[in-house]
Amino acid sequence: MSINISDFKHRISIEKREKTKDKSGYLNGFIPSNIMNCWAKLSDFYAKELYSSFGSKLEGGINITVRYCKTLEHLDDVEYKDKLFITLGTTSYTVKHIDFHNRNKEFITFKAVIIK
């Protein structure tokens, strides 16, 4: 994968959000837990991904690529399933898929959709 380090221009926050419930067991909100702040490269889905995203409800999705680090290598664990979010400024995205690029330890790409 050929990426220039100068492409990493956007400061993001990778978070895990846990659901909280009240005494009656009803959903009360979310508690964010910051995993890491880092620089990222943003790009739209490529043509093939874009067309397949229509069937999987990923319209409005983007690819967020970050440099690999040891802190992020465990994000594909079951513990993080459907709990990962990325914040860019005032916009939040929910992570739908994580691509570790065959575990080459260079980059990680998050396929994310904006939270409306």
**For the chain (length 116 residues), average pLDDT per consecutive 10?**
83 91 81 92 68 55 91 87 91 91 89 87
Please check whether residue 58 is in contact with residue 113, taking contact to mean a CB–CB distance below 8 angstroms. Answer: yes
Structural domain includes residue 91: yes
What pLDDT does residue 24 have?
Answer: 84
Structural domain includes residue 49: yes
Structural domain includes residue 19: yes
Structural domain includes residue 1: no
Structural domain includes residue 84: yes
Structural domain includes residue 63: yes
How many domains are there within the chain? 1
What pLDDT does residue 110 have?
Answer: 93
Structural domain includes residue 69: yes
For residue 44, the enclosing domain spans: 7-114
CATH of the domain at 67: 2.40.10.270
For residues 75-101, one letter each, b for 16 or more C-beta atoms within 10 angstroms of the residue's C-beta and e for the rest, the string is: beeeeeeebbbbbbeeebbbbbeeebe
Structural domain includes residue 59: yes
What pLDDT does residue 51 have?
Answer: 46
What pLDDT does residue 37 have?
Answer: 96
What pLDDT does residue 87 have?
Answer: 94
What pLDDT does residue 45 have?
Answer: 66
What pLDDT does residue 49 have?
Answer: 52
* Coil, strand or helix at 53: helix
